[in-house]
Amino acid sequence: MISPRAFIVGLAVLMKRTVAAVLLAVSALTLGACGGEAPAPSAPASSAVPSPEQVRAQLCYGFAILTPGTLELSEAISVLADTGSSQYQRVEALKKANANSGSSVQRRTDPYDCNSPSDQARFERYVQKSEGP
């Protein structure tokens, strides 16, 4: 059986080797990533502002990666939460919410498309929420 003192000494040696190996790996990765060269000069501040086309492309990408049916469910919940909604509107909202859940045949499976006329109103609401209040 190993004595506690021998165990602690062995553990300390192992820890020193591990720390040394980690430091060596980190320094190698840092030097490899930097390439030992001076950093490139930064671009002027005016080019850091994205163009309207770039902003739209980013918003379209964010819109497209949403889980299909998320926005329909959000719309249905908004109708249900609205105290001014009629009973008919609430029933229709429940139907839409049910259609977008589980294994419903009516469930949306295709991704959102910012250029699609059927998704245009949803995209506009998405943009408004993305820009904040």
- Per residue in 67-104, pLDDT (tens digit) is 888 888 888 999 999 999 999 999 999 988 887 776 66
Residue 35: predicted pLDDT = 47
Most confident of 6-10, 12-16, 41-45, 49-53: 49-53
pLDDT of residue 34: 47
8 Å CB contact between 68 and 112:
yes
Residues 47, 64: Cα–Cα separation, whole Å: 26
Please name which of 104, 110, 79, 109 lies closest in space to residue 94, comparing C-alpha atoms.
79
Provide the whole-model pTM.
0.54
Write the pLDDT tens digit of every residue in 45-60.
556 888 989 999 999 9
